[in-house]
Structure 1
Amino acid sequence: MKTDDFTIRVYTLLHAIPAGRVTSYGGLAAMAGHAGRARMVGAILRRLPPGSHLPWHRVVTASGKPAFPAGSDAFNQQKGLLEAEGVVFAGARVNLKVFGWQP
């Protein structure tokens, strides 16, 4: 299967997000050249190969929340990974003004 250019740009940007910082799905889409395509980024992240070392957990919603239901295993995993990197949550949200990243 051929990986398209947008997917490659998303992977490249995802790899560049430093530990302790996050970006939104929409922000990542815009940085990759497709503003308004946050759902495409979500679909790309869902298709990450098993065992991928790309930091999927550093991508949150535009409101700073993980895109999983609060309290779910996936939510707790993402929150735990981010907290281990020093990201502070206020309730279920990350303050994007403090922890947000753009290249």
Structure 2
Amino acid sequence: MKHFYEKVYEITRQVPAGKVTTYGLIARSIGSPQSARMVGWALNAKKAWLDGIPAHRVVNRKGLLTGSKYFPGNSMAELLENEGIEIDNNQIIDLDKHLWDPSQF
């Protein structure tokens, strides 16, 4: 059986460019709907973005870039903007347009 963190990394690797998902949607898709905070811990524990895991594509349920403090400078927002996602005041504009639900795939 895969460890929780490995499941998080596996799902996060699948988020397409130009899309985002939430900590809660990842938690639900791996069968732990109450573990959204642990998803964030998993992504930070490994410094996932350093290992090529697109952790910049994981945001909170309101589209806030709450994980941005773990990226150097303003790189989380810059990475998302480079993928065509509009950001204002550290929040995704039109989250529904860019939201990717891993349970749908």
Q: What TM-score does the superposition give when structure 2 sets the normalisation length? A: 0.81
Give, as a single letter, the amino acid of the residue that structure 2 aligns with 1:65. Answer: L
Give, as a single letter, the amino acid of the residue that structure 2 aligns with 1:101. Answer: W
**Counterpart among 36, 39, 42 of residue 41 in structure 1:** 39
1:51-85 per-residue CA deviation (whole Å, 9 max, x = no partner) reads 30000100011110101578x97572110000001
1:93 deviates by 1.6
Residue equivalent to 1:97: 96
Label 1:33 to 1:101 Cα distance change in 2 as closer, same or farther (>3 A).
Answer: same
1:99 deviates by 0.5
Contact 2:12–2:55 (CA under 8 A) maintained in structure 1: yes
| Partner SS for 1:41 | helix
Residue equivalent to 2:16: 18
Please say if 1:83 is aligned against 2:81: yes
| Partner SS for 2:74 | helix
| 5+ long unaligned stretches in structure 2 | none
Label 1:26 to 1:44 Cα distance change in 2 as closer, same or farther (>3 A).
Answer: same
Give, as a single letter, the amino acid of the residue that structure 1 aligns with 2:62. Answer: S
| Partner SS for 1:11 | helix
Name the count of aligned residue pairs: 100
Contact 2:20–2:57 (CA under 8 A) maintained in structure 1: yes
Contact 2:24–2:33 (CA under 8 A) maintained in structure 1: yes
Residue equivalent to 1:7: 5
Give, as a single letter, the amino acid of the residue that structure 1 aligns with 2:19. Answer: R
Label 1:63 to 1:74 Cα distance change in 2 as closer, same or farther (>3 A).
Answer: farther
Contact 1:23–1:96 (CA under 8 A) maintained in structure 2: no
1:20-79 per-residue CA deviation (whole Å, 9 max, x = no partner) reads 100111111111111021110011011125730000100011110101578x97572110
Give, as a single letter, the amino acid of the residue that structure 2 aligns with 1:55. Answer: P
Show structure 1 runs of 4+ deviating over 4 A: 72-75
